[in-house]
Amino acid sequence: MEIQKILDIVNDAENKSNKDLSLAVNELYAEFHKTKELMIDLTRHLDGVEELYNKANNELEKRMKK
């Protein structure tokens, strides 16, 4: 379902059919969980990148002090 159709349904929910509302709810539910999983994956990736960066940066700082 296109985002504009979902927005139209949600913004005029009191005048939409149960079928339309159900479709919009299902689409939004799926999108929410897909986005949540992406954010979790990106957070894990970011944590890994930060850990590698800190390891490399700390070693560089040690070498520059000598």
pLDDT, tens only, 17-55: 999 999 999 999 999 999 999 999 999 999 999 999 999
What pLDDT sits at residue 38? 98
Contact 34, 55 (CB under 8 A): no
- The CA distance from 26 to 45, in Å, is 29
Q: What is the pTM of this model?
A: 0.76
Domain ranges within the chain, ordered by starting residue: 3-65
What pLDDT sits at residue 64? 94
- The CA distance from 58 to 62, in Å, is 6
Q: What percent helix, strand, coil does the chain show, rounded to 5?
A: 90, 0, 10
- The CA distance from 51 to 47, in Å, is 6
In single-letter form, the type of residue at position 29 comes to: Y
